[in-house]
A and B are shown apart, each in its own frame.
Chain A
């Protein structure tokens, strides 16, 4: 194994938990040299795990090559290879893991399996300078409010059923909307919502620190079928109601932990309306709202590379025979030796 000084060491990170295949390169000091992404866009319906995995396998070598040329490093300069070990879709995770194992063995460097949810938090901290935030992570697969306490990121609140991004996606598909590369369903709904004015009463379900979104989705699909309301108003009401719910539980975590920073990440974090709401509660509690550049809120390889650096430099390595993917890997299961 190679032993290098921190000043010229690089970690290559591979992300493939869902519809994105992405490769990032980070220096051990946290400079992101490359963050290349290729997204699988289904022709219709949601993400088909096998189809997405097929896409990942097809683009893997190109994305890798591009990451090397963008970062201007050679494969032999790589000191560690990290990959998203979970949670996520099985076939997609396995494709990324296979590429990571092959690369690590070929280069004879250590392999580090990284928890996808933690990677989102860590890249957010790196990019905003946040030290100890309450994080709202909202995407197609996750809706989690977390904060660090005694050695781990703890889940303070989460969805009891479907994820926020999933709720938006399913509604958009039921409404016959279409997504394109670079403009996901969330953005389509956001544009329509901006033209909505009438707030339609919908189920608002906050249970302690947790939320439930399935009732809201059912109510919306029923309203769609009745064709009584304008789609703009439905989108507006969906956003206002669902976002108010996640904002309320985030505020509860903030009041409870009395932390002074709020991080908003995940695909849905790109939504301007949600950003405004979270910003408002941050101000209310004298906390700093940490805005992350959009390239780093979506699933990306850079976050995996950077978290790989943190883990590796604190003694975490994943032997190949223990590098099986973990489809259900809660972020609170992971010990975090790199945070005080």
Chain B
């Protein structure tokens, strides 16, 4: 690995710890997937290695699809570490509550378009939450954390992806979850067209009803 100066722990997530570090004069994030003691080591190694290999691949493809993602500098499969560009900016999670209704609308529209671009290229993010999106000072929305992503064009996977976005809005931003998701859908439709967009939204509804104890399921 390259030369690092005193890495600073910025986020201890469930899946990985994120360190802010200096790497050859660049500000980088080191994403370290540390062993999980709770699961058997063979399963643990498999999960960590798989995600360390797949995440940078998906991030690269996302960039090609027109979705800003941090640039990958180094992938250390053996130690399950990814070194990537540090994105200056603000988490969308924090922004949504601060900005005006019209800016919120625009931001969600943009997010919907980006999700549409991912899906159009057969990329499923796998963990669409507002904490995995960063608005940079030049107005770009960066998507991060593709660890649970996959490559597929299946309707089911697209539906689950959007369903997760909706759920994230409901649990973290329940006051304006409805308007936000409407704007996300609008942006999504813009990219994928009405026909595909509608079929994915229908799928989202179907997935919701599949969930346990959803009262609408009875009306069918």
Query: A residues near B, CB below 8 A?
Result: 86-87, 141-142, 149-150, 154-156, 158-161, 163, 199, 201, 204, 206-210, 240-241, 244, 247-248, 251-252, 254-256, 276-278, 280-281, 284-285, 326-330
Q: Is the CB of A285 within 8 A of B12?
A: yes
Residues of chain A within 8 A (CB-CB) of B214 are 328, 330
Q: Is the CB of A142 within 8 A of B12?
A: no
> Nearest Cβ in chain B — how far from A324, in angstroms?
13
Q: How far is the CA of A92 from the CA of B21 in the complex (A)?
A: 58
Residues of chain B within 8 A (CB-CB) of A87 are 212-213
Q: Is the CB of A276 within 8 A of B38?
A: yes
Residues of chain A within 8 A (CB-CB) of B13 are 252, 255
B78-86, B105-113, B125-133, B183-191: which lies at the interface: B125-133
Q: Is the CB of A204 within 8 A of B212?
A: no
Set B126, B127, B164, B213: member contacting A330, Cβ < 8 A: B213
B40-48, B57-65, B66-74, B194-202: which lies at the interface: B40-48
Q: How far is the CA of A278 from the CA of B14 in the complex (A)?
A: 13
Q: Is the CB of A155 within 8 A of B171?
A: yes
Residues of chain B within 8 A (CB-CB) of A149 are 171
Q: Is the CB of A255 within 8 A of B12?
A: yes
Q: Is the CB of A208 within 8 A of B40?
A: no
Known: A207-B164, A208-B128. A163 touches B38 (CB 8 A): no
Q: Is the CB of A208 within 8 A of B174?
A: no
> Nearest Cβ in chain A — how far from B17, in angstroms?
10
Set A154, A244, A254, A329: member contacting B171, Cβ < 8 A: A154
User: Counting chain A CB atoms within 10 Å of each CB, which of B40, B160, B168, B212 scores highest?
Assistant: B212
The 5 A-B residue pairs with the shortest CB-CB distance in the complex, in nearest-first order: A328-B213, A251-B14, A208-B164, A252-B14, A277-B38
